[in-house]
Amino acid sequence: MAKFEPVLTKNFGIEGIRTLDVYRKQGGYKTAEKVIKEQKPEEVVEVVKASGLRGRGGAGFPAGLKWSFLPPDREVTYFCVNADESEPGTFCNRVLMEEDPHQLLEGILIAGFATKTTTAFIYMRVEFHEQFHILQKAVDEAYAAGYFGKNVFGSDYSIDCYIHRGAGAYVCGEETGLIESLEGKRGWPRIKPPFPAIEGAFKRPTVVNNVETLCCVPHIFERGVDWFRGIGTENSKGPKLYTVSGPVNRPGCFEAALGLTARDLIFGDDHGQGMRDGKKVKGCIPGGLSVGVLTEAELDCHLCFDDVRNYGLLGLGTAGAIVIPDDADIRQVLKNIARFYSHESCGQCTQCREGTNWMYKIAARIAAGAGRISDLDLLVDITTNMGMMPGLSICGLPDGAAFPIRTIVQKFRSEFEEHIRNQKPGVVEQVIRKTNPAAYELPILGQRAVSV
């Protein structure tokens, strides 16, 4: 395979690339101009479909196919750019927006043209303060240059672009949750169907795409579909930004063709450059917290849309790897994961609202040194009975909670069992009596709680 040439990150580090002038000198907005002047929206959709571009936000849904679901006779179309990057371990969107904001805007222009968008909203999480100012400045410049607004490039295509800031809710990264939040309501995901393409924001056809997906779009038109299809594996085409964090020598965001192995991401000279302070890898969560965990032996997993499923993971996710070092207490890792989901569950579906909290309580008790072997089975049992995959929930958040907890308990079970066996006798009873004395007044619980 030819040497991979980065495109998404090619402008990174160029002096003043955040300004329109410098971006234009690098050839920016030429592709958008060409596409809008010379092609029809339907052709643009077909090109993106042919390229095999799959959404980079986590689910991996083909972007062109998503756009083709829009009803043909629509008058108003909204475009939501998902910049609510809240998945732990993921920060590639942040890097894209702060290093090269105009690349995103050019992607919005082309994607907006393809979907006949009237207004594009960039839904950005509120913790991105600096990135917000950078991007807003870029939007202002683009407006002043006539790239947004009425009659873009002298055509009859008009598009508005606004930044809408979120307010700190993980679930607003789910596309219908995002739409609800955009409408000024709680970020409660909607029951589908109707899908956003038919009835989304303000009951109009709406497309929701991730920042990175849109950043890929200009390059597809600049370099051609064949170039794009030549990168990556069979079902996963194109470049991808991989991020790695945790105690590695060089945490950061690196561009590579889809299909990089987790081992290469952590130890590769171009990527993470190995572990800090001579630590070893215990495990790795390769795609944002929700996908599940790989053990050290499984690090040769290819991070593309298909191979990860062979290792019991949810999917590629956002390709944000978190490396767990060998000196980390696996019980604390489990507790942290469980707390995240219990905090971020929106509370609509009962089994997610209660289940995530339940798992957190169990994980916290195990971490406090009062676990039971049966707790491990119970955790696995809970994870199989919540979420979209058994068809129980509105959105995918409980699946995102189920996979990391299930895989970490299953793959590190011996370690958990060892911790539990080494607990002091009677500690379970003490902890339960302290935290919930009423449990021991109920005879049935009193009997169950003593067996470790």
State which of positions 48-107 bind another protein (CB under 8 A): 85-91, 93-94
Q: Are β-strands 239-245 and 252-257 bridged in parallel, bridged antiparallel, or unpaired?
A: antiparallel
For another protein, which residue of 49, 164, 229, 419 counts as binding (CB under 8 A)?
164
**Nearer residue to another protein within complex by CB, 51 or 345:** 345
Q: Name residue 261's beta-bridge partners.
A: 302
Please report whether residue 18 would count as binding another protein according to CB under 8 A: yes
Contacts of 48 (CB under 8 A, 6+ apart): 63, 64, 67, 114, 217, 220
Please report whether residue 368 would count as binding another protein according to CB under 8 A: no
**Nearer residue to another protein within complex by CB, 41 or 288:** 288
For another protein, which residue of 48, 70, 159, 169 counts as binding (CB under 8 A)?
169
| Residue 27 CB neighbours (<10 A) | 11
Distance, in Å, from the CA atom of 360 to the CA atom of 367, rounded to the nearest integer, reads 10
E-strand stretches of 304-415: 320-325
On the 0-12 / 13-18 / 19+ scale of CB atoms within 10 A, 340 is buried
| 7-15, 44-52, 207-215, 338-346 -> range binding another protein (CB under 8 A) | 338-346
Instruction: Give min distance, CB of 192 to another protein, in A.
Output: 20
**Nearer residue to another protein within complex by CB, 183 or 417:** 183
Please report whether residue 337 would count as binding another protein according to CB under 8 A: yes
| 53-61, 229-237, 332-340, 365-373 -> range binding another protein (CB under 8 A) | 332-340
**Nearer residue to another protein within complex by CB, 127 or 429:** 127
Instruction: Give min distance, CB of 440 to another protein, in A.
Output: 24
Distance, in Å, from the CA atom of 80 to the CA atom of 178, rounded to the nearest integer, reads 8
Instruction: Give min distance, CB of 19 to another protein, in A.
Output: 8
Binding-residue pattern over the window 215 to 244 for another protein, x denoting contact by CB under 8 A? ----------------------------xx
Q: Strand, helix or coil at 254? A: strand
Please report whether residue 336 would count as binding another protein according to CB under 8 A: yes
| Residue 314 CB neighbours (<10 A) | 24
Instruction: Give min distance, CB of 394 to another protein, in A.
Output: 15
| 47-55, 64-72, 136-144, 414-422 -> range binding another protein (CB under 8 A) | 136-144
Q: Name residue 240's beta-bridge partners.
A: 256
For another protein, which residue of 323, 362, 366, 379 counts as binding (CB under 8 A)?
323
| 105-113, 211-219, 341-349, 411-419 -> range binding another protein (CB under 8 A) | 341-349
Q: Name residue 120's beta-bridge partners.
A: 79, 161
Check whether the bond before 71 is cis (ω within 30° of 0). no
Distance, in Å, from the CA atom of 99 to the CA atom of 73, rounded to the nearest integer, reads 38
**Nearer residue to another protein within complex by CB, 49 or 204:** 204
Q: How far is CA 360 from the centre of its chain?
A: 22
| Residue 249 CB neighbours (<10 A) | 14
State which of positions 253-312 bind another protein (CB under 8 A): 253, 285, 289
Please report whether residue 247 would count as binding another protein according to CB under 8 A: yes
User: What is the dihedral sign for C-alpha 107, 108, 109, 114?
Assistant: positive
Scanning the structure block, which residue is given the tokens 């130890």? Answer: 267
Please report whether residue 165 would count as binding another protein according to CB under 8 A: yes
**Nearer residue to another protein within complex by CB, 167 or 445:** 167
Q: How far is CA 386 from the centre of its chain?
A: 20
Please report whether residue 14 would count as binding another protein according to CB under 8 A: no
DSSP class of residue 296?
G
Please report whether residue 176 would count as binding another protein according to CB under 8 A: no
The radius of gyration of the chain from alpha carbons, rounded to an integer in Å, stands at 23
Please report whether residue 181 would count as binding another protein according to CB under 8 A: yes
Scanning the structure block, which residue is given the tokens 């390709």? Answer: 319
Instruction: Give min distance, CB of 219 to another protein, in A.
Output: 24
For another protein, which residue of 162, 194, 426, 430 counts as binding (CB under 8 A)?
162
| Residue 12 CB neighbours (<10 A) | 16
| 219-227, 245-253, 365-373, 419-427 -> range binding another protein (CB under 8 A) | 245-253
